Structure 1
Amino acid sequence: MPDRRRPSIAARIGAMGQNRIGALILLLATVAAIVWANVADGSYTSFWETHLSIGIGDLHLEFTLHALVNDALMAIFFFTVGLEVRREFAIGELTSWSRAMVPVIASIAGLVVPALLFVTIAAPSGHAGAWGVVISTDTAFLVGALALVGPRVPGRLRIFLLALAVVDDIGALSIIALVYTDTFSPLPLLVAAAGLAGVYFTRYLRSGRGPVYATLAVIVWLAFLASGVHPTLAGVAIALLVPVYRPNRRDVEHALELARTFRQSPNTEYARAAANSLRESISINERLQSAYAPYVAYVILPLFALANAGVVVDGEILAGALQSSLTWGIVVGLVTGKFVGIFGSTALMKSLRLGEFGPGLTLDRIAGGAALSGIGFTISLFIIDLAIDDATAQNEARAGVLAASVIAFAVATVVFRVSDAVHPEIETGRTLVRPVDSTRDHTYGPDDARYTIVEYGDFQCPFCLKASGSIPEVQRELGDDLRYVWRHAPLTAQHPNALAGAEASEAAALQGRFFEFERALFADQEHQLPSDIVRIADQLGLDVEKFERDLESGEVTGRVRDDMLDAEAMGITSVPTFFVNGRRHVGPFDAQSLIRALRTAPQPEPQLQPRAEPRS
């Protein structure tokens, strides 16, 4: 029987759970701030205006608690944003223009349209210059809200929204630097530039990088503060210089060797060496993201909300907000502007067949994501503090941000519920969501064959090994009437090397040797460590240097991830899973059962495409 364990993409549930908890804590902090400001407005204001002095002798800095949160702690938040931006451009969704085109254009439209609507509506208030309040989506709330109310299979929508949020953050940070910097002194920026150069070259130190990074980060932050450029941008500048890379095979092998040495001779020295080697095999960027993410989600952002979301709500203020063009400019800009900009641009791209839309990224799902993007909490509140001086206007603006976030969440919830009703999960799982394309898929057999089998599998799964033995018998029986297609659904939670094997097969495919590599992996499922994979490539006569380079490429990882997202979109929870003539096969997968299923299944429409690589 097939392996019923979840495919690796389901491991994201844990991460989504963390996002959900972070969003709930942020929401509780927001509610606490509003309650505190209304129950004891005087104590709320006076507490956050408490002055602190930090320093020694004549060297000291003076902050209010509010400034400490907004200028210092938020620099760490923006640092994590910068790390994510750097990662996406290096090895993530934004490495390929065809893949990045849709979220990039949607994000730009989602910046421009809200700003135009805001300026048009808020002009009478005299605060049209605060248009930056409506440009940015709150990534933390966006991801948390998607986990709470998103569609049943949010994989591709989540990736689309995260890529969109990265571009959105770049735009927001650029606008903060260019538009909302009041005073500017160039000399301290020379010190910052020297510090940033030091950050870049720190990667070449053999040890002790952590203290050096920390010291230089403080120097750069102080230099930004002295220059007049908002010091939170120091976090972004530093993050963009932190190296990011996929784990190198040799580093992984070295870590494994040290771990084996420690197992044979346990002692402190070997334990430290093994731990250091394992840590160093992961890029500094990803290590820092993992280290800081809990503090940002559970401490920094809730503290920011507590310090900035304290809107005084009484009859007079509500009446003023309801009549304020500033408030309505923010509500319309965030709720309507974000939706029109993001959904309108993606709908236009889809109709013109521009960019790459994968299965599951339908217009109704994008509509829900576009509505959810109207939650402009963190950076919106941040820019209010920079762009508006009048206390009454700040209250009206904060009320607008909170109202817009609630409305956006409610609208998105309705859209997602309707979307799930229109596209029931059970029906989606019965039909192959991505048609076979011989220019993309790994196929054996003619494209005009009467019958097509698509298999989602895992090279370390014993049931997939059994199924792979059935396919040749089906091919002998049906001959040129059969087209066979392999797609990836690795179960990394149970098979630690399954994802590496899938990516290695794609690297081999770039040299035209996918099926040979597939057979070699199935022939020895117990030995698929990085050294084993390279040994297989060498035995097959591949260009090993090119093979190793391709293993670290975005093209290879993206290809495997696309298959995994297809599997998630169809609710595939076991492998092997077969689709016979586009319909999901239920039952045994021995050769005779598959042949009977093929002969009794409805015939698909023939697709005349160039013949793909043969499976000899």
Structure 2
Amino acid sequence: MNASPPPSPTTQHPDFGLTVITRSPDPTKSHNEPPKRAPLSERIQAMGQSRLGALLLLVATVIAIIWANISYASYEQVWGTHLVIGVEDLQLSFTLHAFVNDAIMAIFFFTVGLEVRREFAIGELTTWSRAMVPVIAAVAGLAVPAIAYIAIASGSGAEDAWGVVISTDTAFLVGALALVGPRAPGRLRVFLLAMAIVDDIGALAIIALVYTDSLQALPLAIAAVGLTAIFFTRYLRAGRGPAYAILSIIVWLAFLASGVHPTLAGVAIALLIPVYRPSRRDVEHALSLTQTFRQSPNSRYARAAANSLRESISINERLQSAYAPIVAYAIIPLFALANAGVRITGEILIDAVRSPIMWGIVVGLVVGKFVGIFGAIWLMKFFRIGSLGPGLTLQRIAGGSLLSGIGFTISLFIVDLAIADPEVQNIARVGVLTASLISFALAAIFFRISDRLMPTTDAGRLLVRPIDATRDHVYGPADAKYTLVEYGDFQCEFCLKATGAVSEVQRELGNDVRYVWRHAPLASYHPNAVAAAEAAEAAHRQGKFGEFMRSLFADQEHQQPADMLRRADELGLDTEQFESDLSSAEVAARVQDDALDAEAMEISAVPTFFVNGVRHVGPFDAASLIRSLQATRF
């Protein structure tokens, strides 16, 4: 695809259309001194919450083990405490342990369901082409560990506990990646999260189909009615929050009475919660109300602005934001405290070492997960099925496959469902903890060694993704002698000034140079940078990327949602299609892919140029870029 490049507001080259953007010179700088570049400091995904959540989970696990070994009687007494909830004849009776596993954990599974729903609607699993590799890897990561466990535990009487080894603990996986992962782990993290979503779906389906003893028809019918009502709640004009809450409690009670494990009610409810990308019109309406409140501060305008801002974000994402800290910092550590109390004595360890159940779990999680995931991806790569993102090498997949052997939350959850004997349960818990520790240690060692073997001088030196004329925004002939790739941000003033240098390069080299633009939005410095990049991609779908790019650079101060719509209208775009494309997962993924490329190459500033596939270091004035192009030609 050869698009017409962005011309300058003042001077337009007859062949390429790029303009030299003129600005008054800074008297404190020499004429040839390029401006400093702004830092790209924001990672694609925040790691802080994942890291802290994993540490709290680890602390809770250690406390549970120490507590159980100091006084197992008190541990059992506390978690065996009976709770009675209800009035008169309508009462529910739980042990504290059962309340955590059946009620509190329903919130955890609810958040898992929200994430599943989001990924299929607007995330990594929206299209088969994007989801193929993590989906196939996840299925293999479910099947191979189960087969390994059954082969080893055959004859032990606990063959049915193969579900213990199928699931990776998503919270521990992401937290461990933040703690011991490789440099620039963004794309690996996105891949592992997508795979973990499919893994969770498989584990939840197995809990429902395999570890549910009996079903009661009437409660299931009530649950179905309640779920139907939850689906239609989205159409209420007001009171959706209370309606969701009341109906969710009814559905959970119906699941509890039906024989289906009540935590699955959380998943079923979450899958019916609507999710969508914010509408630009809704965002603009919220901004208008906020400006009205700023001009006339009063409680009525404050409520209107707050409600409008809240409603512009889907309830799925609002609930994820609200519950994610509760789940990470309270629910999962509480679950670990209630379930990880493993007695560890010499006799128990000897029994565990001799038990095929323990070794079935260890081999299933540590070896089975690695062989299933890495083996599936190796085969897909060998037969050229699907594709891995730039920077996502087999080496990194190997490390991620080792981390996937951390099977904690759902593994311990299934231990209670699949095994009745308390002594065997204890052996199984020893196996889960041992396997998780081994997987974590192996992954940490692997990532440290692989990072050391990768020369730091080569990190980010070469362009990780070749130019693709069907995907990239390419300006110039495909057979040009020189290729100049820029990672930039439409709100960055230095990228604006770089367009002048690029136009000079094209004027000097003519058809000998090919210019490629890729996105690296500085969201931490420029709040509208991602939106501007997505708007340009939406315009590209109507063949107007170059024109929209010129418009964005010509007026960097006005890049609000209304400005994007105004630009689309001025350029003669179909505004309804433009708005629809702005809300599409494909457009968001296109920008994210470029940003993940930038992270994979450790790009820490924009604009960053690659000349003939080699990273340009130093000034980015036209003369410097031309010298670099001529010096690095392959």
TM over 0.5, yes or no?
yes
Equivalent residues in 2 for 1:266-415, closer than 5 Å: 266-415=297-446
Deviations 1:240-260 (A, max 9, x none): 000000000111011000000
Tell me the secondary structure at the aligned position of residue 386 of structure 2: coil
Does structure 1 residue 438 correspond to structure 2 residue 469?
yes
1:70 corresponding residue in structure 2: 101
- Partner in structure 1 of residue 629 of structure 2: 598
1:530 partner letter: P
For residue 46 of structure 1, report the CA deviation from its aligned partner. Answer: 1.3
Q: Deviations over 1:148-200 (max 9, x none)?
A: 00001101100000000000000000000000011210110111111111111
Whole-angstrom CA distance in 2 between matches of 1:423 and 1:561: 25
Task: Provide the secondary structure at the position in 1 that maps to 2:459.
Answer: helix
Are the equivalent residues in 2 in contact too, given 1:30–1:309 (CA < 8 A)? yes
Any unmatched runs of 5+ in structure 2? Answer: 1-33
Matched, 1:116 2:147: yes
The alpha carbon displacement at 1:404 in A equals 0.1
TM-fit CA distance, 1:356: 2.3
Aligned amino acid, residue 10 of structure 1: R
Q: CA deviation at 1:511?
A: 1.5
Equivalent-residue separation in structure 2 for 1:431 and 1:442 (angstroms): 19
Change in 2 beyond 3 A, CA 1:342/1:2? farther
Q: Report if aligned partners of 2:293, 2:302 keep a CA contact under 8 Å in 1.
A: yes
Match of 1:556 in 2: 587
Q: Shift of the alpha carbon at 1:513?
A: 1.4
Alignment map for 1:77-116 (pairs within 5 Å): 77-116=108-147
CA shift for structure 1 position 390: 0.4
Give the TM-score normalised by the residue count of structure 2. 0.94
| Match in the other structure for 2:236 | 205
**What is the deviation of 1:423?**
2.5
Q: Which residue of 2 aligns with 1:566?
A: 597
**Displacement of 1:4 after TM fit?**
4.3
For 1:195-217, what per-residue CA distance to the aligned partner results, in whole angstroms no more than 9, with x for missing partners? 11111111111222111111111
Distance 1:256 1:2 in 2: 33
2:190 aligns with one of 128, 152, 159: 159
Match of 2:181 in 1: 150
Cα distance in structure 1, aligned partners of 2:47 and 2:238: 34
Rounded Cα–Cα distance in structure 2 between residues aligned with 1:3 and 1:43 = 63
- Once residues 196 and 219 of structure 1 are traced to their aligned partners in structure 2, the CA distance between those partners, rounded to angstroms, is 9
Q: Is the 8 A contact 1:3 1:576 kept in 2?
A: no
| Stretch of structure 1 that moved more, 510-519 or 452-461 | 510-519
1:263 correspondence with 2:289: no
User: Counterparts of 1:512 and 1:402 in 2: how far apart (Å)?
Assistant: 55
Query: Which of 203, 211, 218 matches 2:249?
Result: 218
Partners in 2 of 1:377 and 1:86 — Cα distance? Answer: 23
Which whole-Å CA distance do the structure 2 matches of 1:328 and 1:209 have between them?
49
Change (3 A) 1:16 1:2: farther
Question: Structure 2: how far apart are the matches of 1:392 and 1:378?
Answer: 20
Q: CA deviation at 1:425?
A: 4.5
Measure, in 2, the Cα distance between the counterparts of 1:382 and 1:482: 60
Select between 379-388 and 549-558 the one with higher mean Cα deviation.
549-558
**Alignment correspondent of 1:244:** 275
Find the counterpart in structure 1 of residue 619 from structure 2: 588
Alignment check: 8 A CA contact 1:455 1:487 kept: yes
- 1:456 alignment counterpart: 487
Contact 2:44–2:596, Cα closer than 8 Å, also in 1:
no
Any conservation in 2 of the 1:9–1:564 contact (CA below 8 Å)? no
1:530 equivalent among 561, 575, 578 = 561
Query: Number of residue pairs matched?
Result: 601
Structure 1 residues 315-360: Cα deviation after superposition (integer angstroms, max 9, x where no partner)? 1110000000000000000000000000000011112221121111
Segment of structure 1 superposing worse, 416-425 or 121-130: 416-425
The DSSP-based 3-state class of the residue aligned with 1:53 is: strand
- Following TM superposition, by how much is the alpha carbon of 1:521 offset from its aligned partner in structure 2, in angstroms? 0.5
Equivalent of 2:65, from 14, 26, 34? 34
Partner of 1:45: 76
**Post-superposition offset of 1:582:** 0.8
CA distance in 1, matches of 2:449, 2:391: 15
Bigger shift: residues 42-51 or 84-93? 42-51
The C-alpha deviation readout for 1:487-512, integer Å capped at 9, x for no partner, is: 00011111111111101111111112
1: CA distance between counterparts of 2:257 and 2:164? 25
Contact 2:358 2:428 in 1 (8 A): yes
Shift of 1:3: 5.6
Tell me the amino acid that sits aligned with residue 309 of structure 1: A
Structure 1 residue 99: Cα displacement: 0.8
Identify if the C-alpha distance between structure 1 residues 116 and 3 changes in structure 2 by more than 3 Å, giving closer, same or farther.
farther
Q: Distance in 1 between matches of 2:590 and 2:566?
A: 23
Distance 2:333 2:455 in 1: 36
Residue 10 of structure 1 corresponds to which residue in structure 2? 43
Q: Residues 43 and 186 of structure 2 are in contact (CA less than 8 Å); yes or no, is this contact kept in structure 1? A: no
Deviant stretches of 4+, over 6 Å: none
Q: Which stretch shifts more, 193-202 or 229-238?
A: 193-202
- The answer to whether the 8 A contact 1:152-1:425 is kept is no
Greater Cα shift, 492-501 or 135-144: 492-501
Rounded Cα–Cα distance in structure 2 between residues aligned with 1:434 and 1:590: 25
- Identify the residue that residue 170 of structure 1 maps to in structure 2: 201
Q: Following superposition of structure 1 onto structure 2, how do residues 514-529 of structure 1 map, counting pairs within 5 Å?
A: 514-529=545-560
Match of 1:466 in 2: 497
The offset of 1:451, in angstroms, is 0.6
Which position in structure 2 is the counterpart of 1:608?
none
Structure with the higher fraction of residues in helix conformation: 1
| Whole-angstrom distance in 2 between the partners of 1:370 and 1:501 | 36
How far 1:422 sits from its partner (Å)? Answer: 2.8
User: Which of residues 524, 528, 548 in structure 2 aligns to 1:493?
Assistant: 524
- Between the aligned partners of 2:592 and 2:621, the Cα distance in structure 1 is 28
SS at match of 1:430: coil
Relative distance call for 1:214 and 1:2 in structure 2 (3 A) is farther
Query: How far did 1:9 drift?
Result: 4.6
Distance 1:425 1:457 in 2: 24
Cross-structure match for 1:190: 221
Query: Is the Cα–Cα contact under 8 Å of residues 3 and 575 in structure 1 kept in the other structure?
Result: no
